[in-house]
């Protein structure tokens, strides 16, 4: 395929789609499938078959539309009508609704209002195709302007020009680090090496985060296109998509998309009849959170034990098999096609300060609307929680939002109007992170939150460096003690000291950022820690508080023995 044939194919596909009298899009990403989207789709297909003599209905399995807590979601798309999105579909209801549409009496049951803030208040650029196309169908992606950016890059841009455009857009790494993507690409472009590599990091491991999964499941070609553009821009001929082992569907869809793109001449040898060749392979993780760290990720791709090595040297000089390598998050690659297709100005026009473009967040926790959202950088937390998210269930008060998972921190209620951008979140003691956004109400105990994340880090520490391996355990034990009632204030001093030790001496980002949830909860909710320790009570009523500090243990043991609850402590 060359550029002309690609354009011709797109024209045909669009014409075909616009004459289609009725298209039904069934969200078939992991959340909707687990809510029963498979059966809904079968029911819709049955209804479509019933009416097939009279009208042609195309039932399409799409990727994630966003409002996951309302799934399964079904969109009915008819020429001349606005899209009708239905929530919480059952097979019966979905059949009834489709039949209604086909007889011009569309029912209003479970119909989402057209101006639902959750959808209307978003700025969907990276997610533009999510929930709109069949991720397993290359034609759908092509009809949505897919691979136009790659064609344009190969045709109209020099590799340097692509890097410059990406730089100009102000795009920064969406995995959380926020390193300017254009600059990273320039480094790789200029690096001397026999071979160069492009790696997409899809090893999303933060608890409560599912942006990368949704993107890989919903729009895999977009990532492939972004990677191919990166390959062209940097002089790499080989790419790897590193997909978390727990995401089998994302891996399967990435696989299929790569194969389909190769067959269509959009990937592989001489892409679009240009001299540029680029291959992509999928690599599956084996369940280690630390493999999201780039040096550990590379070790894992090379088949070694997934453990970080110190940087420098950075991957741009010494990456996969010692060759220059660029590693970007899958969301970063998802940002690339529109930059080339629409020009870097579009992305640069959105956002605030040095944070340009949009950010995808996985909104979850104690908020009415759970799901995937894409908003301009600099949107306030209040807008996200109360306008888009619909507020806290049951009218409870907002307490804090956790961003950046176990590497991030929490943002307290007094900062609800804070702008969500790289610099500001850091100033508030958290990080942008990859986009996990966990909302917590007054019913949440912040000590318990810190304990949860420390438990996670302890479990995921690779064990290579001693401060992280042994430090996370000591911190977890103390936090556990605070929440069971046996902590003392002396331990609190040790905890804060351990936080500093780990930040300064850990080998990789996992250990260095593991104290963040502790530090930020201590910063905003120290009184909660003290209530546990001094007053032996959990203000949120979450912690069990069944133990006592060791100095009170003698009486406690005697009482337990007297009550016959002795666990062998006594003769």
Out of 368, 501, 542, 548, the residue judged to bind other proteins by CB under 8 A? 501
Q: Does 104 bind other proteins (CB under 8 A)?
A: no
Q: CB 302 → other proteins: shortest distance, Å?
A: 16
**Of 147 and 456, which CB lies nearer to other proteins in the complex structure?**
456
Tokens, residue 293: 């760290």
| Look-up of token digits 């908020």 | 367
User: Are 311 and 298 a contacting pair, CB within 8 Å?
Assistant: no
Q: CB 490 → other proteins: shortest distance, Å?
A: 8
Choices 214-222, 253-261, 405-413, 500-508; region in contact with other proteins by CB under 8 A? 500-508
> What is the per-residue DSSP string for 498-543?
HHHHHHHH-SSHHHHHTTHHHHHHHHHHHHHHHHHHHS---TTS-S
**Of 219 and 460, which CB lies nearer to other proteins in the complex structure?**
460
Q: Does 464 bind other proteins (CB under 8 A)?
A: yes
Out of 470, 542, 545, 548, the residue judged to bind other proteins by CB under 8 A? 470
Q: Does 459 bind other proteins (CB under 8 A)?
A: yes
Tokens, residue 544: 């069990």
Q: CB 457 → other proteins: shortest distance, Å?
A: 9
* Residue 215, Cβ density class (10 Å: 0-12 exposed, 13-18 middle, ≥19 buried): buried
What is the C-alpha to C-alpha distance for residues 497 and 482, in angstroms, rounded to an integer? 16
What is the C-alpha to C-alpha distance for residues 473 and 489, in angstroms, rounded to an integer? 18
Q: Where are the alpha helices (DSSP H) in 121-191?
A: 138-143, 148-156, 159-169, 181-190
Q: Which residue, 146, 149, 200, is CA-closest to 175?
A: 200
Q: Does 82 bind other proteins (CB under 8 A)?
A: no
Q: Does 192 bind other proteins (CB under 8 A)?
A: no
Q: Does 461 bind other proteins (CB under 8 A)?
A: yes
Out of 80, 275, 395, 568, the residue judged to bind other proteins by CB under 8 A? 568
User: Are 298 and 327 a contacting pair, CB within 8 Å?
Assistant: yes
User: Are 447 and 400 a contacting pair, CB within 8 Å?
Assistant: no
Q: Does 248 bind other proteins (CB under 8 A)?
A: no
Q: Does 6 bind other proteins (CB under 8 A)?
A: no
Q: Does 515 bind other proteins (CB under 8 A)?
A: no
Out of 76, 143, 465, 522, the residue judged to bind other proteins by CB under 8 A? 465
User: Are 350 and 359 a contacting pair, CB within 8 Å?
Assistant: no
What is the C-alpha to C-alpha distance for residues 539 and 392, in angstroms, rounded to an integer? 19
Q: Does 558 bind other proteins (CB under 8 A)?
A: yes
**Of 113 and 303, which CB lies nearer to other proteins in the complex structure?**
303
* Residue 557, Cβ density class (10 Å: 0-12 exposed, 13-18 middle, ≥19 buried): middle
Out of 60, 62, 181, 472, the residue judged to bind other proteins by CB under 8 A? 472
Choices 71-79, 186-194, 438-446, 549-557; region in contact with other proteins by CB under 8 A? 549-557
Choices 340-348, 444-452, 502-510, 538-546; region in contact with other proteins by CB under 8 A? 502-510
Q: Does 431 bind other proteins (CB under 8 A)?
A: no
| Number of residues near other proteins (by CB under 8 A) | 45
**Of 275 and 312, which CB lies nearer to other proteins in the complex structure?**
312
What is the C-alpha to C-alpha distance for residues 74 and 26, in angstroms, rounded to an integer? 5
Q: Does 303 bind other proteins (CB under 8 A)?
A: no
**Of 70 and 464, which CB lies nearer to other proteins in the complex structure?**
464
Residues 36-75 that bind other proteins (CB under 8 A): none
Q: Does 571 bind other proteins (CB under 8 A)?
A: yes
Provide the mask over 273-302, with x wherever binding to other proteins is found by CB under 8 A and - wherever it is not.
---------------x-x------------
Out of 46, 99, 164, 309, the residue judged to bind other proteins by CB under 8 A? 309
Handedness of CA 338, 340, 342, 344 (dihedral sign): positive
What is the C-alpha to C-alpha distance for residues 43 and 27, in angstroms, rounded to an integer? 14
* Residue 199, Cβ density class (10 Å: 0-12 exposed, 13-18 middle, ≥19 buried): buried
**Of 204 and 480, which CB lies nearer to other proteins in the complex structure?**
480
Q: CB 512 → other proteins: shortest distance, Å?
A: 9
Q: Name the DSSP letter for residue 388.
A: I
Q: Does 504 bind other proteins (CB under 8 A)?
A: yes
Q: Which residue, 515, 513, 384, 510, is CA-closest to 438?
A: 384
Q: Residue numbers of the site for other proteins (CB under 8 A)?
A: 288, 290, 305, 309-310, 458-467, 469-474, 477, 494, 497-498, 501, 504-507, 550-551, 553-554, 557-558, 561-562, 564, 566-571
């Amino acid at each position: 395929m060359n550029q002309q044939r690609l354009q011709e194919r797109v024209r045909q596909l669009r014409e075909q789609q616009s004459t289609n009298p009725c298209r039904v899009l069934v969200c078939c990403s992991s959340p909707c499938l687990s809510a029963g989207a498979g059966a809904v789709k079968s029911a819709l297909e049955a209804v479509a078959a019933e009416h097939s003599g009279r009208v042609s209905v195309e039932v399409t399995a799409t990727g994630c539309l966003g409002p996951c807590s309302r799934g399964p979601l079904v969109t009915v798309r008819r020429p001349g009508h606005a899209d009708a999105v239905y929530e919480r579909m059952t097979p019966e209801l979905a059949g009834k609704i489709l039949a209604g549409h086909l007889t011009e009496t569309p029912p209003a049951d479970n119909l989402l209002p057209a101006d639902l803030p959750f959808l209307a208040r978003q700025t969907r650029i990276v997610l533009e195709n999510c929930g709109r196309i069949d991720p397993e169908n290359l034609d759908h992606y092509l009809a949505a302007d897919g691979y136009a950016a790659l064609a344009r890059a190969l045709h109209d841009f020099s590799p340097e020009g692509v890097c410059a455009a990406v730089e100009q857009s102000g795009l920064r790494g969406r995995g959380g680090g926020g390193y300017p993507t254009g600059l990273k690409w320039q480094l790789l472009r200029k690096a001397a090496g026999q071979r160069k590599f492009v790696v997409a990091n899809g090893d999303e491991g933060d608890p409560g985060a599912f942006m990368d999964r949704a993107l890989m499941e919903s729009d895999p070609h977009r990532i492939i296109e972004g990677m191919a553009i990166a390959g062209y821009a940097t002089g790499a001929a080989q790419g790897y998509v590193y997909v978390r082992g727990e995401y089998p569907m994302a891996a399967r869809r990435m696989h299929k998309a790569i194969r389909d793109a190769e067959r269509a001449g959009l990937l592989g040898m001489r892409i679009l009849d240009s001299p540029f060749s680029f291959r992509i392979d999928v690599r599956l993780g084996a369940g280690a959170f630390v493999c999201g760290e780039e040096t550990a990720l590379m070790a894992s791709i090379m088949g070694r034990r997934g453990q970080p090595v110190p940087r420098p040297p950075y991957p741009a000089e010494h990456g996969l098999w010692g060759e220059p390598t660029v590693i970007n998050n899958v969301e970063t690659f998802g940002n690339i096609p529109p930059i080339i297709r629409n020009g870097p100005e579009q992305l640069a026009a959105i956002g605030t300060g040095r944070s340009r473009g949009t950010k995808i967040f996985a909104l979850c926790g104690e908020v009415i609307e759970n799901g995937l959202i894409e908003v301009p950088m600099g949107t306030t937390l209040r807008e996200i929680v109360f306008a888009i998210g619909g507020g806290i269930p049951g009218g409870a008060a907002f307490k804090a939002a956790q961003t950046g998972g176990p590497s991030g921190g929490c943002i307290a209620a007094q900062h609800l109007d804070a702008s969500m951008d790289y610099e500001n979140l850091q100033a508030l003691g958290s990080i942008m992170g990859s986009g996990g956004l966990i909302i917590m109400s007054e019913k949440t105990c912040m000590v318990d939150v810190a304990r949860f994340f420390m438990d996670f880090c302890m479990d995921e520490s690779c064990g290579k460096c001693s401060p992280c391996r042994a430090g996370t355990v000591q911190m977890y034990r103390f936090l556990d003690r605070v929440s069971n009632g046996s902590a003392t204030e002396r331990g609190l001093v040790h905890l804060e000291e351990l936080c500093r030790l780990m930040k300064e001496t850990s080998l990789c980002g996992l250990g260095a950022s593991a104290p963040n949830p502790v530090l930020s909860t201590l910063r905003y909710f120290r009184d909660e820690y003290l209530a546990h320790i001094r007053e032996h009570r959990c203000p949120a009523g979450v912690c069990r508080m069944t133990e006592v500090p060791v100095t009170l243990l003698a009486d406690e043991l005697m009482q337990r023995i007297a009550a016959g609850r002795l666990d062998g402590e006594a003769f």
